[in-house]
Structure 1
Amino acid sequence: MGYENKKIAYIRVSSKDQNIERQYKKMLELGIEERLIFIDKQTGKDFERPEYKLMKRFIREGDLLYIDSLDRLGRNYDGVISEWKHITRELKADIIVLDNESLFDSRKFKEMGDMGKLMEDQFLSLLSYVADQERKKIKQRQAEGIAIARDKGILGRPKITFNSLSKEQKHIITTYYNSWKRKEITAVKFYEMLDLKKNTFYKVIKQYEESL
């Protein structure tokens, strides 16, 4: 008896907290056996994922690998292209990307011979680039969101300003400011009286001076 080609699925979510059910249900509906569904719960920045590496050792020539979307394979532009070519051209299996099946079905490209390879390379480069750019945009938006939240005092310690000080702290500043300027008390003593850190003290004092 010869080798019987298999349907295999690869599922990836970015963290252990994310739900795989949507992807998993889709793979079962395609008639893929549970034992042939490989699942990783980690970032797609590289391909050092245990289930992904196991899947590559398991897959054979003529097998059909299903992936829900291209970014489930990975989010690294060069890596996605390299892995796709390794699976389809070296391992001689096929890949179907379910959310873009009309375009990303490696069997169609193989049927076209050398011209198919050229077209496949172009489509892969385009969509992998788009996926990579989207990943970079997401990271940038996250960084910007965190920065804005910090400025608003949503994350970390609230931003301390002169206006946010207690009445007692404001009273200490108005009472001892001139003494500090005349060097009758040290800055260390002054910000200890206010229960502020050095950098915060100078920012608050600057705001106070601007209000005079």
Structure 2
Amino acid sequence: MTKIVLYARVSTADQTIEHQEAQARSAGFMIDEVVADKGESGLTTRLSERPEGRRLFDMLRDSDVLVVRWVDRLGRNYADVCDTIREFMRRGVIVRTVINNMTFDGATKDPMQQAVRDALIAFMAATAQAQAEATKEAQKAGIDHAKAAEDGRYLGRKPSFTTEQFQRVHDMLSQGAGVSMIAKSTSLSRQTIYRIKDNPTESAAALASWGL
């Protein structure tokens, strides 16, 4: 019997497994089981090295479906994400994403279709790593800014978004989502989305300054 498993990963306190599960179910996925890692970095820790990530390789069988919000939940390291998806496909596991409703499997034997599929996997994996590195730099700049102005600093206006929303906006922008779609998904105004998009470093600095 085919099993549908959602893998969720949260690396900060602001992110929630429940949100990822709710998003998957609202997209129509009939989830049989949720496997989740908390506080695990997708950039520095391979899926096979995470406690619950290892379970996926043990539990998933031929024709099972692995659901993730997007490929960045599997990881944010280019090589790891590519290797992981290819290994699951080799085992007959179908990998599906909630965002963009992508499906990756080993069904096709046509070399041209395989090449297109593999190129798409590589592109998405590279995007996940590039976005993670960009966010990391923006957050570092924000922390440095806050430290430099620690004594007698003017905090400015409190951000109208949380760290989780900031991360989600970056995720969706990197995936080519439009401002209207992002605003609907995050419950933020279009103006806020544009502010984060145009000034990511300042937005990260504001979060850091307020300890958010």
TM-score, normalization by structure 2: 0.63
Q: Distance in 2 between matches of 1:113 and 1:53?
A: 31
2:42 to 35, 40, 44: 44
Structure 1 residues 11 and 27: alpha-carbon distance in aligned structure 2, compared to 1, 3 A threshold: same
1:141 aligns with 2:142: no
1:14-29 pair list within 5 angstroms: 14-15=11-12, 18-28=15-25
> Shift of the alpha carbon at 1:7?
1.3
1:1-212 pair list within 5 angstroms: 4-15=1-12, 18-28=15-25, 30-33=29-32, 36-41=33-38, 42-45=40-43, 46=45, 47=47, 48-89=49-90, 91-101=91-101, 104-107=102-105, 110-111=107-108, 113-153=110-150, 158=151
CA RMSD in angstroms comes to 1.9
What residue identity is the alignment partner of 1:97?
T
Q: Contact 1:110–1:116 at 8 Å: present in 2 too?
A: no
Q: Distance in 1 between matches of 2:31 and 2:5?
A: 6
- Per the alignment, in what secondary structure is the counterpart of residue 89 of structure 2? helix
What residue identity is the alignment partner of 2:147?
R
What residue identity is the alignment partner of 2:149?
K
The structure 1 segments of at least 4 consecutive aligned residues displaced by more than 4 Å after TM superposition are none
> Shift of the alpha carbon at 1:32?
1.4
> Shift of the alpha carbon at 1:28?
4.5
Deviations 1:113-158 (A, max 9, x none): 32222111111111111111111111111111111112212xxxx3
Q: Distance in 1 between matches of 2:55 and 2:132?
A: 25
Q: Contact 1:8–1:65 at 8 Å: present in 2 too?
A: yes
What residue identity is the alignment partner of 2:145?
I
Same amino acid, percent of matched pairs: 27
What residue identity is the alignment partner of 2:30?
G
Q: Contact 2:8–2:36 at 8 Å: present in 1 too?
A: yes
> Shift of the alpha carbon at 1:52?
1.1
- Per the alignment, in what secondary structure is the counterpart of residue 140 of structure 2? helix
What residue identity is the alignment partner of 2:20?
Q
What residue identity is the alignment partner of 1:106?
F
Q: Distance in 2 between matches of 1:111 and 1:98?
A: 22
What residue identity is the alignment partner of 2:34?
I
> Shift of the alpha carbon at 1:17?
5.3
Report what 1:205 is aligned to.
none
Q: Which consecutive residues of structure 1, in runs of 5 or more, have no partner in the other structure?
A: 160-212
- Per the alignment, in what secondary structure is the counterpart of residue 30 of structure 2? coil
Q: Contact 1:40–1:50 at 8 Å: present in 2 too?
A: yes
Q: Contact 1:64–1:95 at 8 Å: present in 2 too?
A: yes
